[in-house]
Amino acid sequence: MLSCMPPRSRASWSDDEAREYASLLELASDAVLVLDLEGKIQFWNRGAERLYGWTSDEVLGKSAHELLRSKFPVPLPDILAAVRVQGEWRGEIIHSNKEGLGVVVATRWTPRTDANGELIGTFEINRDLTEEKRRQEYSRNAERLATLGRLAATVAHEINSPLDVLNNIFYLLKQQPLSDTARELVRQGELEVRCIADITNATLRYSRSSAQPAQASLRDILDNVLAMHSGQIRIRNVHVEKRYRTEGNVVARAGELRQVFANLIGNALDALPAGGRLRVSLTGGGSNGFFVAIADHGAGMSPAVRERIFEPFFTTKGAGGTGLGLWIARDIVRNHGGTIRVRSYTQPGRSGTVFMLWIRKSPQAQQYSESVA
């Protein structure tokens, strides 16, 4: 890493030396910042422009820590004390770039002194670690997913036994004289057991061969999912707007598509305030497929969150979320030869999130792709 510790105090340099040193800093691929003791930016090289997105003219005189929304591993006064006493500090800091996305940097701070040796600021060199950290996280997630897959397959297999018992119980109940209310409860119970069976079978298919696709209606699947969430919709007084322009007949694994829509509609309902609006639309998507859009008018997602929503184990729900729902949903859509896109806005009065899916009519000639816009 390039050292930006000058051979003597900056105050004693000649004009030619200062210009030569500044030229060297401009050539550095790493981000080089010169700050005063208040953290205000005195110098910002081209490496910093590339890493963070702001030009030098935009940042000079501004507080670096406020601009970059710095997250330090230790308190800032401790870092400055180390620079003053030990002559440098090294560590990792999380910054935000101009687009609001997180940037992880390996940083080295060295003292900037006057002619009397008094500390007047710091030199800071930052090397981008974001992609390296992301690769490490992907590697860890791959190992966790492999373990989780084996565990999920085992659990799903064990769940099937009590489900068979429940199905037999419902069958026997239907042979008994029941009131209309009781018979309706039995019917609803059978539907929920069938839903659990679909989920466990889909889980098993991730570790074994997949079931064959069959004729299905996207309209029916969407209505079924909305009915499943009817209790939450009613309690929270959410207004649901359905815009169906077609039946959306496809050859697909209906249980898997139901899982996708259930995840997206469930997330949309979680994002909505009481009395909010949820829009579900189904339209033609050319000769080979259909578009499904699920839109909410919630608070929206920041660019940093939007960038990571399809990563396994990433969640904004804290202990209440697994971080697997959207990752699985994207995988299912891709396996059906479709695409999934997301747009989100956070401006007051114009906030919300829209997931747009393109579902192929037939699983033939699958194309695996996705995009985040």
pLDDT in tens, 196-234: 777 776 666 554 444 578 899 999 999 988 887 888 888
What's the pLDDT score for residue 219? 94
- By the 10 Å C-beta count (0-12 exposed, 13-18 middle, 19+ buried), 285 is classed as buried
> Into which CATH architecture does domain 10-128 fall?
2-Layer Sandwich (3.30)
What's the pLDDT score for residue 309? 87
What's the whole-model pTM score?
Answer: 0.50
For 213-373, CATH number out of 3.30.565.10, 3.40.50.2000, 3.50.30.10, 3.90.1150.10 equals 3.30.565.10
pLDDT in tens, 65-102: 999 999 999 999 999 999 989 999 999 999 999 988 88
Check residues 15 and 162 and name the one with the higher pLDDT: 162
pLDDT band at 24 (very low <50, low <70, confident <90, very high): low
pLDDT in tens, 35-48: 998 999 999 999 99
pLDDT in tens, 111-157: 988 888 888 889 899 999 988 887 777 666 666 666 666 666 677 76
pLDDT at 10 over 80: no
Across 351-373, average pLDDT: 69
